[in-house]
Amino acid sequence: MKRITALFLSLAMLLALAACGGGSNPPAQTGGDAQTPPAQTGGGEQTPPPADDKDLTETQKIIREAEGMTLEELARKAIEESNGKMFYGVGNSSRGKSALPLFIEYLQTIDPGYSMEFEWQQPKNNKIFDQLTADSLKDTGTFAMTLIQDGNQIESKMVQTGVLDTFVPKDWADANGTSADAYEGYLPLQTLNKVFMYNNTGSKSYDNCWDFVAEGEHGLYMDIDSEIVGKNFLYMLTEDTYAGWLKDAFNALPAEEQAYFQPTVKAMESEAADLGLGADGAYALAWIKLWVESYNAQTDDGPICNTLVDKSATDQFGLLVYSKLRSVEESSSVSVNNINVAAYDDGFTGIGGYGYCHYLFVTDNSPLPWTACAFIAYMTCTVDGFSAWGKDMGGYSSNPTVAEGTEAQYGHSKGGMAEDGTTVEFEAKNDRGYDWWTTDGKLVLEDPEYCASVSFTVGSWIEMLSKYSAG
């Protein structure tokens, strides 16, 4: 009965998703510059636009018109709409606050007399969804647009409820060889990666992703209840492709190490069947169970990075945002050279980390929809607009032209650039790029549709696991 109930719930969830639409994984790029990713769809399908404009909201009508305009044409509309006014944005990334003054400077190259005040908010503890929902109840909202992560909740709480609208800039679509009408999915600003890193000052190394869940290991990781995309990572491991990667990595282990994990894999076979997972689902559940029951929960990736790069952190490891390495200040005890990115090591087998997107939306009751569209186009279609994020390794623009220009400016494949413009060599900071990470690096990519399809079944199972307590 337990299995029948689980299968029924899974079928009901899939049918519900089929009714509301879904998306696909960002595809891995084939060939070309390793720093130039393809269009990273990674979102649920947009709700098909009504056949008649009379069925569109006022903001949706503006978006439809805006999707046929170049950035300069949008900029002129923005100047007309927002000159002398106040612009409010909200996002999971604080970098929006850095991008807005650059956007204003760009508008001033067209109209030197243009001015706009702005405020950027970054709600903590996943409150952005509550904040946007509350704002959507007003006839005219406070927030003009948002930059937001967690495709699972975006689809269920923001898009299907009509709170947020997707705008696809013409210049972005042209660069990706598509059009606004043909493109399916949310508009991604970038794909970010979180990768396994370990302190190399001792004798320990990690050459297989199962080493991270071996006996006695306690990786530093942002708690899955603090940052929900971390839970999406675990959901994605149960998808057939990624479960297969875990099985392959398990098979590559020495026999004595397999013997340690085998009882857990065996115990998960019935659970995988109950949850309706594929043939390799038991390997995914085993890894998830061992990870949740062993990781040392942290409040943020910054402190994790600060811990690992100190030479005193011998034999410690973590799963954290790659870009945190950029802010490390070298000293006698602290250095990026004190850590290894596990996936870069020769012979490493299995998943090297996971990737998720930051998406851009216009609020459906936006007070400044033209300005919101222009700002979104500026961030996704120009190197300067993306520069607030582009200075970091591990953040890949969804626009191949912008990605190429960003790499030319910042040299992430060579360890980044120093303030004086000289190249600084740190092996761990030599970013292999989106193409490498999504192929050889075996980066697990968030798929909002799949996450939503298992958030009730696999999500409920994860909630029943007992977390490790460092105390």
Of all residues in the chain, the percent with pLDDT exceeding 90 is: 76
Which of 49-53, 133-137, 174-178 comes out lowest in average pLDDT? 49-53
d(CA 308, CA 146) in angstroms, rounded, equals: 33
d(CA 86, CA 77) in angstroms, rounded, equals: 16
pLDDT at residue 167 greater than cutoff 90 = yes
Domains of the chain: 58-190+356-417 (3.40.190.10), 192-355+444-463 (3.40.190)
Mind listing the pLDDT tens digit for each residue in 225-270? 888 899 999 999 999 999 999 999 999 999 999 999 999 999 999 9
- Residue 161 has a pLDDT of 92
Beta bridge partners of 361: 146
Which stretches of 144-271 are assigned E, i.e. beta strand?
145-148, 164-165, 187-199, 220-222
- Residue 415 has a pLDDT of 77
- Residue 14 has a pLDDT of 41
User: 353 — alpha (psi -120 to 50), left (phi > 0) or beta?
Assistant: left
Mean pLDDT score of the chain: 89
pLDDT at residue 386 greater than cutoff 60 = yes
- Residue 448 has a pLDDT of 86
**How big is the chain, counted in residues?**
471
Mind listing the pLDDT tens digit for each residue in 326-343? 889 999 999 999 999 999
pLDDT at residue 151 greater than cutoff 90 = no
Binned at pLDDT 50, 70 and 90, residue 419 comes out as low
pLDDT at residue 21 greater than cutoff 90 = no
Contact 445, 342 (CB under 8 A): no
- Residue 52 has a pLDDT of 61
Q: Which residues contact 176 (CB under 8 A, 6 or more apart)?
A: 38, 39, 183, 398, 399, 400
Mind listing the pLDDT tens digit for each residue in 389-398? 998 889 999 9
